[in-house]
Structure 1
Amino acid sequence: MKTALSLITLLAVTTGCSHRAVYENVQINQRNDCANEPPSTYFECLDRANKSFEEYQRERKDLLENPESDGKLP
């Protein structure tokens, strides 16, 4: 997984891909990794992997603006 992610990141940087394209490629890898999850956590894994790019950007922005929150709601 780390090798694939590194390769995708390298390709994205060298080919000038957008952030969305990189995110979507990582998302595909995450979905593929869900196949290795036990049946009891498979759908949770897919839910995490299917987060929209817009939702990802909002969460990322919130974390960058409020690093002490650690992504947890009050």
Structure 2
Amino acid sequence: MKGLLLLSFAALLAACSEKAVYNNLQHNNRLQCDKVPLSEYDACMERASKPYDDYERERRELND
């Protein structure tokens, strides 16, 4: 029972960590959008503003 609890906790922690890393990368990407030409800015911000849940769903669909 303890092993299952620890495994569940580790999986939950890993998922939270992945989301935090994704959000940090997206934040850095949005900062980089300030450096692109104005004509590309909106598209850049749209790519860099995709919520983690949308990203994760698309990633799962590609892996299935």
Verify same fold: TM over 0.5: yes
Identity percentage over the alignment? Answer: 44
Instruction: Give the Cα separation in 2 of the matches to 1:46 and 1:24.
Output: 14
Higher relative contact order (CA 8 A, sep 6+): 2
Per the normalisation by structure 2, the TM-score is 0.72
Query: Which structure has the bigger radius of gyration?
Result: 2
Which sections of structure 1, spanning at least 5 residues, go unmatched?
A: 1-15, 66-74
**Structure 2 residues without counterparts, runs of 5 or longer:** 1-13
Partner of 2:25: 26
Counting matched residue pairs gives: 50
By percentage of residues, which structure has more helix? 2
Consecutive aligned runs of 4 or more in structure 1 exceeding 6 Å deviation: none
